[in-house]
Structure 1
Amino acid sequence: MFKNIATLLRLFQIARVFARHDALAVLEERRLVPGKLAAVAVWIARKASKKNTELRPGQKLAAALTELGPSHIKLGQFLSTRADILGEQFTEDLAHLQDQLPAFDGKRAVAIIEKELQGKIDDFFLSFNETPVSAASIAQVHFAETLDGTPVAVKVLRPGVEEDFKKDLSLFYSLAGLLEKARPSLKRFKITEVVETFHETVRLEMDLRMEAAAACELSDNFTGDYTYDTPEVDWDRTARRVLTMSRIEGIPLDDRQALLDAGHDLEEVLTTAAAIFFNQVFRDGFFHGDQHPGNMFVGDDGRIVAVDFGIMGRIDKSTRHFLADMLIALLKQDYLALAKAHVAAGMIPPDQKIETFAQALRSVCQPIMGKDLSDFSFAKLLGQMLHLAESFDMTIQPHLLLLQKNMVMAEGVSRGLEENLNLWAISQPLVEEWIIENRGPEAIIKDGVTNLSDSLKALPKLIHNLEAASDAFSQQGLRLHNKTIQDFHNESSGTAKWAFIIAIASFTFSIGFAVNFIFFNS
């Protein structure tokens, strides 16, 4: 299971850090330490633990992950979307993990840039500040000016970060396999798949060209919409380990006093932010996956400006329709329809009792019915609904978990800016309009027309195939493969023979009917 001694030593080091922060409580509480390892963990905890009764278990876990470095910080942030595994309080605490680390030497950043761009730093920049303005687990950012004096921000991957992540990912895979083997009850959480999803997320984050492409796509989606802006990518100064973008200025979205001092209307700011979030999710199906306040700013003209596009979420049209159907059923308090929407979306196995699931949904949703949107957390409600996976074998789709995480962040920012305003209360008209346009009677007719149009486009090919089949049938008869004929004669069941004859007759009739239909309607 563990490939070498180095992996075992790393595991022991991790255990000591967990114990030092008294973070092994989370492993005990969630029964994530199997068999003899539990006894070892308890022994380590007694030797190294620094009990801190003032912190919650999730906060202790966050502190331990921070000490362990980049890959563990990223893992903690990723797990902050998995309330189904760790519970709501743990994930809420992990959501506050600060992705900040000491900066690496600016001269090393210059060396990386020169290697990636294949030239001297002076060939690309008029000036380059070797002191970074921010440093995170995967990369750090420097300010610079291009040769024509344009101010830019240059993001550079940490030296050796890929190799560090590769080593820890190997350990994560080993632990996932061990947990699923030792605790069969954990298999429904698909822990190995969780690690695979995390692996894919990190892999994309460590290719800064992917981040550049995401920024461009997001910008294209808001062409002509001057409420939202993203930095412009400088592709001539961008490579796998270097990303250069135009420099942006603004007030952090959660700095209430600074926004007021600058003369911004907080309700207007929140209304703009709500519309942007809604359009990303429902209109485009492509949303910024890490919308914490450090990545969101308000410009002088009131527009929202975003940075850091390493984590992006995609929601296909069918899932957006599921969310709309879910909202419609919720507003009607039709919990059976709500349960059926989950089944139709493939989130609940068809062998589950849908009436029991509807009852479970009622237990979660009924307490908030009749309340004003500003009086409850829609993000928390979605989290509770997803948490029902524990009882009903629900398949949790990663993009929905990422969406729920961002909803939690958005709610926190909105309530921090203006306690009496709620993001979803502001978004309600947008939601209602989108539902009417996409799930109302007109939308159903439109979808039907679109499907018919697609069928008509395929009709010429169908006609050609039917004509060819008809010609072949009239000239040569219906030819069967020798093996098919032999199997038919060898089949002893009279019922099977009659079924075979009926099938051939039906096929022949279908060809004739189709050809006649096309002829008389052309």
Structure 2
Amino acid sequence: MLSRKMKHGKRYQEIAGALIKNGLGYLISDWGLSDLLPFPSKKAAPRTPHRSTGERIRLFLEELGPTFIKLGQLASSRRDILPESIIADLEKLQDKATPFPFEEVKKIIRDEFGAGVEELFAEFDPEPLATASIGQVHKAKLHTEEPVAIKIQRPNIRPVIETDLEILESLSLSLESRFEWARAYQLRDIVEEFSQALLSELDYYHEGRNAERIAKQFEGDENIRIPKIYWDFSTKRVLTMEYIKGRKISEFFSETVPGYRKKAISERLIHSMLQQIFVEGFFHGDPHPGNIVVLPGDVICYMDFGMVGRLTEETKYHCASLVIALMRADTNAIMKSVDALAEIPEETDLHLLKEDVEVLREKYYDLPLSQLSLREAINDLYHLAFKYHIRFPADLTILGKSLITVEGVVESLDPEFSLIEAARPFGERLLRDRLRPGRVAQKGWKTFLDQAEILLELPKNLRDISKTMRKGKFRMEVVIPDLHLFLEKLDRISNRLSFAIVLLAFSILMVGLMIGTSISGQSTVIWKNPIIEIGFGVATLMLLWLLLSIFKSGKF
């Protein structure tokens, strides 16, 4: 941690300064950044009463640039970790940046392809269509007359992001060592997930492959359009795709556009997302209005595939189990499914958790599908997860955010449209697949093989345990609840005992000096005897040092 602070000292100071500026200075000590500021600056700036904590966090992240903005955007999907009040502000994060010069664009293209803009493209608009913190998009035309949109990564952005990721890793380790809540939420693992996702976004090959994979899901479907990727004009830092001009879906929220049908747009958007999620298990992870355009004929076109979600067959299996449990209003089965899908801490009071699940079950029991809000149901589940520190895998949180986002878009288009009703056929298909005889037999056979493997390995495992015990190397781990509290109390007791012993020794020394002085009849004996003088000085220094160390520890 210290070496990284020295290596990235300037960036650490920028982070500390941004905390103070946005009324979050009280976090500097918790994050271990106090030693990076001059003494007068360590005092936290007063909290601004007119801004909520969520708003201050949002402004702090926006000020620090791309890494922290992306962190906030990903964190906005973690309703199992953050309270709704902060999530609401994180969803407002603005990824805005100043466009970088066209000369830089030309240099990047030459570096990537070994040829200039004029050689590769018939036309190239120097003004960007859109600009963000990681890159910007330009319109161009190939020599084959095909219009394209070219996403170009901002120069030197990778080292900046890598530095920030190193700092975030160090901060997560520091917080885990200091606070129980950081260990409970496994903060380091969350930062690792975020780092992998962001570094993946920096490689435009990943985004291109994501687009092609989703495009294959809708081959032959004329109602869904995915931009074509031109691989001959794409690298890790440059992505060239088909230029598609359409209307932003937000244009249909408040008014009726001639030639377009809102109901058809809603149905196609919902069905295409549910197809990606529940049938293919690979879906667009950020379907907000800016990433969806509508073409003539009510055709839905998805854009920007930097963030995607994945559902494995096992995850879909457990999701189907959860649906069955909810339909049967079986609290025990709901608990079992949540346990299979998420990570429930060992110290969780399962009895209290079961009671809250029962309350949730009663809330939605016998409720008509037309009256059920998916957003409310997902948020209720996340509130429960937040209360009991239950962690869902990243892909499931992306799934929840995607469904909530799509439901919000559809409600703006057609308030009468029910996402739950539209999802019914997909849910029934999921259940049929879950209960299909062939699937049940396959699941049973896999379980049998797993158990058989355990039984076959049992003799070997028993022999290994026996050998270890005979060698006297058998280790047993004992966990004592609240051990740190016990050690803190023991520390205070030992400090007080040390203090008392030193005070007693010092008192004896002073009494000896007084008796020696009275017997000799001389009042300046301490000055005539250097040994006593030295001993007195040493004892005094020891006393001062011990007092200082005890008071500094804060455990006196």
Residue 228 of structure 2 is matched in structure 1 by: 232
Residue 544 of structure 2 is matched in structure 1 by: none
AA partner of residue 293 (structure 1):
P
| Whole-angstrom distance in 1 between the partners of 2:438 and 2:349 | 32
Q: CA deviation at 1:210?
A: 1.0
AA partner of residue 200 (structure 2):
L
AA partner of residue 203 (structure 1):
L
Change (3 A) 1:371 1:15: farther
The DSSP-based 3-state class of the residue aligned with 2:429 is helix
Residue 63 of structure 1 is matched in structure 2 by: 59
| Whole-angstrom distance in 1 between the partners of 2:277 and 2:237 | 29
Per-residue deviation, residues 203-247 of structure 1 (Å, max 9, x unmatched): 111111111111111111221222211100001100110000000
Alignment partner of 1:126 is 2:122:
yes
| Whole-angstrom distance in 2 between the partners of 1:247 and 1:36 | 47
Q: CA deviation at 1:425?
A: 3.2
The DSSP-based 3-state class of the residue aligned with 1:231 is coil
CA contact under 8 A between 1:282 and 1:320: conserved in structure 2? yes
Aligned residues: 453
AA partner of residue 68 (structure 1):
L
- TM-score when normalising by structure 1: 0.79
How does 1:399-418 map onto structure 2 within 5 Å? 399-418=395-414
Name which of 20, 26, 30 aligns with 1:33.
30
Name which of structure 1's ranges 393-402 and 12-21 shifts more when overlaid on structure 2.
Answer: 12-21
Change (3 A) 1:71 1:371: same
How does 1:289-304 map onto structure 2 within 5 Å? 289-304=285-300
Alignment partner of 1:279 is 2:275:
yes
Residue 533 of structure 2 is matched in structure 1 by: none
CA contact under 8 A between 1:21 and 1:49: conserved in structure 2? no
How does 1:359-370 map onto structure 2 within 5 Å? 359-370=355-366
Name which of 125, 149, 155 aligns with 1:153.
149
Q: CA deviation at 1:133?
A: 0.6
| Whole-angstrom distance in 1 between the partners of 2:125 and 2:98 | 17
| Whole-angstrom distance in 1 between the partners of 2:67 and 2:342 | 32
Alignment partner of 1:51 is 2:51:
no
AA partner of residue 59 (structure 2):
A
Residue 439 of structure 1 is matched in structure 2 by: 434
Change (3 A) 1:52 1:454: closer
The DSSP-based 3-state class of the residue aligned with 2:241 is strand
Change (3 A) 1:377 1:57: farther
Q: % of aligned pairs identical?
A: 27
AA partner of residue 335 (structure 1):
T
| Whole-angstrom distance in 2 between the partners of 1:406 and 1:386 | 14
CA contact under 8 A between 2:83 and 2:386: conserved in structure 1? no
Name which of 191, 194, 197 aligns with 2:187.
191
Change (3 A) 1:96 1:380: farther
Name which of structure 1's ranges 276-285 and 445-454 shifts more when overlaid on structure 2.
Answer: 445-454
Residue 6 of structure 2 is matched in structure 1 by: 5
CA contact under 8 A between 1:151 and 1:246: conserved in structure 2? yes
Task: Work out which of the two has the higher radius of gyration on C-alpha atoms and give 1 or 2.
Answer: 2
| Whole-angstrom distance in 2 between the partners of 1:46 and 1:411 | 45
| Whole-angstrom distance in 2 between the partners of 1:42 and 1:191 | 29
Residue 441 of structure 2 is matched in structure 1 by: 448
Q: CA RMSD in A?
A: 3.3
CA contact under 8 A between 1:34 and 1:182: conserved in structure 2? no
Change (3 A) 1:435 1:158: same
Per-residue deviation, residues 374-400 of structure 1 (Å, max 9, x unmatched): 545323422432443455453421101
Change (3 A) 1:428 1:454: closer
The DSSP-based 3-state class of the residue aligned with 1:85 is coil
| Whole-angstrom distance in 1 between the partners of 2:150 and 2:177 | 45
| Whole-angstrom distance in 2 between the partners of 1:35 and 1:141 | 39
Name which of structure 1's ranges 259-268 and 399-408 shifts more when overlaid on structure 2.
Answer: 259-268
CA contact under 8 A between 2:342 and 2:392: conserved in structure 1? no
| Whole-angstrom distance in 2 between the partners of 1:340 and 1:257 | 41
Change (3 A) 1:339 1:451: closer
Q: CA deviation at 1:117?
A: 1.3
Name which of 349, 374, 394 aligns with 1:398.
394
Q: CA deviation at 1:340?
A: 1.2
Name which of structure 1's ranges 107-116 and 407-416 shifts more when overlaid on structure 2.
Answer: 407-416
CA contact under 8 A between 1:20 and 1:50: conserved in structure 2? no
The DSSP-based 3-state class of the residue aligned with 1:394 is coil
Unaligned runs of 5+ residues in structure 2 are: 450-459, 471-556
CA contact under 8 A between 1:66 and 1:72: conserved in structure 2? yes
Residue 142 of structure 1 is matched in structure 2 by: 138
CA contact under 8 A between 1:104 and 1:158: conserved in structure 2? yes
The DSSP-based 3-state class of the residue aligned with 1:260 is coil
Q: CA deviation at 1:264?
A: 2.1
The DSSP-based 3-state class of the residue aligned with 1:291 is coil
